Structure 1
Amino acid sequence: MKVIVLAGGSGTRLWPLSREFYPKQFLKINSNESLLQRTVLNFLTLVPPQDLIIVTNKNYVFHVKSDLKEKKIDLSHIILEPVSKNTAPAIALAAKYCLEKLNCDPEEVILVSPSDHIIKPKEKFITYINQGRKIAQKGYVVTFGVKPAKPETGYGYIKLREKQDNFYTAEAFIEKPDFEKAKRMVKSGNYYWNAGIFAFCLDTVLAEFNRHAPSIYRLLENNFEDLIHHFKEMPNISIDYAVMEKSDKLAVVPMNISWSDIGCWDALYEILEKDKHGNAKIGDILDIDTKNSLILGNKRLTATIGLEDALIIETDDAILIARRGETQKVRQIVKQLKKANRKEYAQHTTIYRPWGSFTILEEGDRYKIKKLIVYPGEKLSLQMHHHRSEHWIVVRGTAKVQIGDKEQYVCENESVYIPKTTLHRLENPGKINLELIEVQNGEYIGEDDIERFEDVYGRL
């Protein structure tokens, strides 16, 4: 069996923590593991690393690699979508990769899972997955449903039809009902949440694409490289709409586990541990007469008085304050920020690069101060800036610095100056993260004032 983990989504419903360029699969929520790391580690108890494939896109590939490197996970197979086209094209691309690049048998089962869900307990979940694998081997298209804990308007539902040996056939898919309809469905006991996890043999899913999504199947007849080239022609459609809702081979494995797609702040509140007043708190929080609230602090003390059913999310550059139950409207905030072309909709003050990251500490007229972290063995591009000079002060580790045609080592508490229009490169030759402060000065300090001459990450 091959496991396909979809990590290309760009949801922003957990703004300001989740941003377009740093979506929720990379967040560490009350844990030392990101959601992607947790998902991959779960599935590595089921298959070896060579049987796990991540599908993402060029905007997130370095986040994915950094996450895997942090947990010392060595995966050989990361597929890059040229453009984001929803789950059906992503699954089709992964299926083609399995057949052509991994030489999989057409009867081999592939399991498809999102990268940003929380599922407990792991052992019980893996038992259900093994059950679904056996059903998929019989030619079924398997989807996994979760027994609903309560009426939920943010999830899709699957209506069960009749019971077979250890699965059900499906009668209908219901997309995000209103609260009254959700109550009736949960009360009936015949509806399960759609977990967005699927299993099928390669030949089965290709046949279903041919029957129900011919525009996708036509492109799959190309070789893998041609499919990549023509990927932009794929329809923007989910696997549910493209195949699941139309297939007469659908089998539902019902799961009685704790599951959440953390689709909004209200969903996160539900799964977090709470104090005796019903407050879920992360960070340096001081609360007085506050009840049933979600409070996420960052670097500052967050103090509340007399709040109830409130939501407070603090980050370096934005604070979200809302009433619990209204958090589906966060999308409207993000839309307004994007329309106004404000950077807060897309990125944090910390920006990740293939070599590490930088955090903007201060910015003003003609100057910017950053903290840079360069991973061991990594180096920035050989580059030049037309409008700014830079001053580097090493805080931790040892830097190997090229300025013009000269190289030098810069150690802790030492500094070096790079004039405008001078070729330069920064490298970490050590075994620990290199940390330094960068002070920029000039008439223009935008991130696009960079001309690259050499780059080991192919960004020329």
Structure 2
Amino acid sequence: MKILILAGGSGTRLWPLSRKNFPKQFLKLPIDNSYESFFQKTLKRLCFYDDVEIFIVTNEKHKFYVIEQIEEISKKLKIKPNFEIILEPTSKNTAPAIALALKYAIEKGISKDEVFFVSPSDHLIKPENEFSSYVKASEEIAKKGYIVTFGIKPNRPETGYGYIKVKMPKIESFYEVENFVEKPDIETAIKYIEDGNYFWNSGMFAFRADTMIEEFKKNVPEIGEIFEKPYEKLLSDFYNLPDISIDYAVMEKTDKATLLPLNIFWSDIGSWESLYEILEKDSSGNALIGESVNIGTENSLIVTNKRLTATLGLQDTLVIETEDALLIAKKGESQKVREIVKILTKKAAQLVEEHTTVYRPWGSFTLLETGHRYKIKRITVNPGASLSLQMHHHRSEHWVVVKGTAKVKIGDREQYVHENESVYVPKSTLHRLENPGKIPLEIIEVQVGEYVEEDDIKRFEDIYGRENI
């Protein structure tokens, strides 16, 4: 069995903590005191075979999060998997992503009768050992030509999940799928619970590669035909593929679907309420992350970043604070966060796309202040890392080293800059910043000019292969 993890999503339901360029799967929250991201937890629970091979589908913007978090979690893994990272040329939903991975694997030499287990990268599932037994059981059924989907028996009427209606068991404990249904309103969700034949759709699947390829060709010919093309041709044509989920593309149409119920804990952490449910509570029923003082506040979720947050007399409330945004909502309303994101996308896209701290393959930078014709950042460069050789046409930069030692190239001159020393980078001058030391390098950067946005960068050399931000 091969493992396929979908890690290219840009979920918005946990805004303002989750952003387009730093989505939910990479967040590290104190859910079980491990501070591992959802992506890292996914990797851990899927390493249950010796020599397991894991294919990860993501995109260029998330590639370096994937690489960094793999390196972090690999130190904790008893089984050392072989990781393959597949980059989508553009985001096209789950059906094209799965097809891209299958095509890549087949060209790599993997047999078409190999079973693939497909998993999102942002779910919470436990206990891990029981989960692995379900996955192994699905392999045997998938080998027979079935597409196995994994269903969760609902314990409450939930409007944030899709549902799957089943018939009588088809094979042992596997159910025949009658149909997939969209996220319901609350009245419909209650009826589903009363009916007893509905399961939450977990978004996980197991199938033989040739089975899924056949279904693509039969149900979505524009995706199916990619298997007749070389992989490089598929990459260039990927933009023309339909933006469609695997549910719409295949699962709602195939007669090969069967459902395996998961009788363990599962959550896709698809809302702030679902995060509240899994966190430990204080004596007043509050789930707290970060520093806060709460008087007379009950049954609420308070998430803070760097500022102390104080609440008085709140009931059933969500308070989510980041450096640049604050969300306050009644519990039960957070599914509407997407509406806020849609408004902000038109009015203030930066609040949707990035945090004030932005991660790069070499480290990170935090925006401290911005104004007319200037920006101030705190830049952290990892040991041994290097920014690209670049220039800016519209701004000059002044660097002050706060910690560590910098190796700086400005024009034809190279020099070392130590703590409490500074250098000046004029406009339209080639420059590069490196950290030759053993500890993180921290500098304060002051940009001044008529245009101080991130796209005023012309790269000439980059060890990470980037052309643009």
Q: TM-score range by the shorter chain?
A: over 0.9
2:355 is aligned with 1:348: yes
**TM (normalized to structure 2)?**
0.94
CA deviation map 1:311-363 (0-9, x unaligned): 10000000001111111111111111111144112111111222111110112
- Closer/same/farther in 2, CA of residues 360 and 375 from structure 1, 3 Å limit: same
CA deviation map 1:406-430 (0-9, x unaligned): 2222233332222222211011223
Partner of 1:125: 131
Equivalent residues in 2 for 1:394-433 (5 A)? 394-433=401-440
* Counterparts of 1:339 and 1:417, CA distance in 2: 36
The residue identity in structure 1 corresponding to 2:45 is: N
Partner of 1:23: 23
* Counterparts of 2:10 and 2:349, CA distance in 1: 17
CA deviation map 1:166-200 (0-9, x unaligned): 31111121211222221222233322111000000
1:75 positional shift: 5.4
Partner of 2:441: 434
Q: Is the CA contact (8 Å cut-off) linking 1:387 and 1:445 kept in structure 2?
A: yes
Q: Is the CA contact (8 Å cut-off) linking 1:147 and 1:257 kept in structure 2?
A: no
Question: What runs of 5+ residues in structure 1 fail to find an aligned partner?
Answer: none
* Counterparts of 2:17 and 2:50, CA distance in 1: 32
- The 4+ residue runs of structure 1 with deviation greater than 6 A are none
Q: Pick from 40, 44, 47: which aligns with 2:43?
A: 40
**Larger CA deviation: 310-319 vs 229-238:** 229-238
Q: CA RMSD in A?
A: 1.6
* Counterparts of 1:433 and 1:190, CA distance in 2: 55
Equivalent residues in 2 for 1:296-315 (5 A)? 296-315=303-322
The residue identity in structure 1 corresponding to 2:264 is: I
* Counterparts of 2:239 and 2:447, CA distance in 1: 39
- Closer/same/farther in 2, CA of residues 201 and 360 from structure 1, 3 Å limit: same
The residue identity in structure 2 corresponding to 1:138 is: K
Q: Is the CA contact (8 Å cut-off) linking 2:56 and 2:83 kept in structure 1?
A: no
CA deviation map 1:259-293 (0-9, x unaligned): 11111112211222212211111110110111111
Partner of 2:8: 8
The residue identity in structure 2 corresponding to 1:207 is: E
Equivalent residues in 2 for 1:222-233 (5 A)? 222-233=229-240
Q: Pick from 260, 285, 297: which aligns with 1:278?
A: 285
**TM (normalized to structure 1)?**
0.96
Partner of 2:113: 107
* Counterparts of 1:178 and 1:423, CA distance in 2: 57
Q: Is the CA contact (8 Å cut-off) linking 2:51 and 2:82 kept in structure 1?
A: no
The residue identity in structure 2 corresponding to 1:156 is: G
* Counterparts of 2:271 and 2:214, CA distance in 1: 35
* Counterparts of 1:449 and 1:128, CA distance in 2: 51
1:47 positional shift: 5.4
CA deviation map 1:228-258 (0-9, x unaligned): 1111121111111111111111111110111
* Counterparts of 1:91 and 1:220, CA distance in 2: 12
3-state SS of 1:372 partner:
strand
3-state SS of 1:71 partner:
helix
Q: Is the CA contact (8 Å cut-off) linking 1:381 and 1:456 kept in structure 2?
A: yes
Give the share of equivalent positions with the same residue, in percent. Answer: 60
Q: How many residues are paired up?
A: 458
2:327 is aligned with 1:324: no
Question: What runs of 5+ residues in structure 2 fail to find an aligned partner?
Answer: 76-80
1:76 positional shift: 4.2
- Closer/same/farther in 2, CA of residues 194 and 46 from structure 1, 3 Å limit: farther
Partner of 1:385: 392
